[in-house]
């Protein structure tokens, strides 16, 4: 970024927040460039012990297999985003249950933002058979780990996430807070937290 998106002045280096950042020289504007960030999400959907994966139709990595996922829109709740991506890419209706984990990458990808946070959810299968658009997605289906081991191009992050989902019980992820909690959510917030201990298991 070279110019202020608010007033079009040339950005200059300035000390802000303990480091040098590009900022607008107009003190009345106040714009500071904090970098280029994005949030992505992906979903592991298990049905009858098999995981839903899709085959990419677009570069980069055309032809590879992965769990459904994509970018979260700037005005979209992340839960809605992951459920939307599963439906758009594979035609399957599923509901987010918990967070398996996340990946933080610095340096960006081809044509992508410089920093990305990618949150991986576990979703409960509701209905639908895998279908795809033959454009962005070339194929989709539910596959066992043994079947995936025989397939070419199953992405490592997807294998990791599927393994975590299959080998952790229903009370192991970060729970999606859908009801009342001790900390009420503000409008636009999505809350995720550790699940309470089951006294019967102690």
pLDDT surpasses 50 at 128: yes
The closest of 68, 60, 4, 67 to 30, measured between CA atoms, is: 4
Mean pLDDT of the chain: 89
Instruction: Quickly count: other Cβ atoms within 10 Å of residue 122's Cβ.
Output: 27
Question: Please, which pLDDT band fits residue 110 given cuts at 50, 70 and 90?
Answer: low
Residues above pLDDT 70, as percent of the chain: 89
Work out the burial of residue 2: count CB atoms within 10 Å of its CB; fewer than 13 is exposed, 13-18 middle, 19 or more buried.
Answer: exposed
Average pLDDT over residues 153-177: 89
pLDDT at 12: 95
Q: What is the dihedral of CA 161, 166, 171, 174, to 10 degrees?
A: 10
Q: What sign results for the dihedral spanned by CA atoms 61, 62, 64, 70?
A: positive
The lowest-confidence range among 17-26, 28-37, 72-81, 109-118 is 109-118
Q: How confident is the model at residue 134 (pLDDT cuts 50, 70, 90)?
A: very high
Band (201; pLDDT cuts 50, 70, 90)? very low
SS3 call for 162 = helix
Greater model confidence, 175 or 39: 39
- Summarised one tens digit per residue, pLDDT across range 10-54 is 999 999 888 999 999 998 998 999 888 899 999 999 999 999 999
Residue 151 in tokens = 């397939």
* Single pTM value for the model: 0.83
User: pLDDT > 90: what percent of the chain?
Assistant: 70
Q: Please report the pLDDT score of residue 183 as a whole number.
A: 59
pLDDT confidence of residue 41: 97
> How would residue 184 be classed by pLDDT, with cut points 50, 70 and 90?
low
Q: Which of 176, 163, 190, 157 is nearest to 69 (CA)?
A: 157
């Amino acid at each position: 970024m070279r110019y202020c998106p608010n007033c079009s002045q040339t950005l200059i280096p300035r000390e802000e927040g303990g480091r040098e950042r590009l900022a607008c020289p107009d003190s009345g504007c106040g714009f500071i460039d904090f970098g280029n960030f994005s949030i992505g999400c992906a979903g592991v959907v298990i049905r009858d012990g098999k995981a839903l994966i899709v085959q990419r139709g677009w570069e980069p990595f055309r032809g590879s297999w992965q769990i459904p996922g994509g970018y979260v829109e700037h005005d979209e709740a992340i839960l809605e985003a992951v459920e939307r991506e599963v439906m758009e890419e594979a035609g399957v209706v599923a509901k987010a249950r918990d967070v398996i984990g996340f990946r933080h990458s610095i340096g960006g990808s081809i044509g992508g933002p410089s920093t990305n946070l990618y949150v991986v959810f576990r979703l409960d299968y509701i209905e639908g058979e895998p279908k795809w658009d033959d454009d962005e997605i070339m194929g989709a289906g539910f596959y066992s780990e043994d079947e995936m081991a025989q397939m070419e191009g199953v992405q490592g992050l997807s294998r990791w996430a599927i393994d975590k989902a299959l080998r952790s019980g229903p009370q192991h992820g970060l729970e999606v807070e859908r009801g009342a909690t001790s900390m009420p959510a503000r409008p636009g917030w999505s809350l995720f937290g550790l699940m309470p201990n089951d006294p019967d298991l102690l």
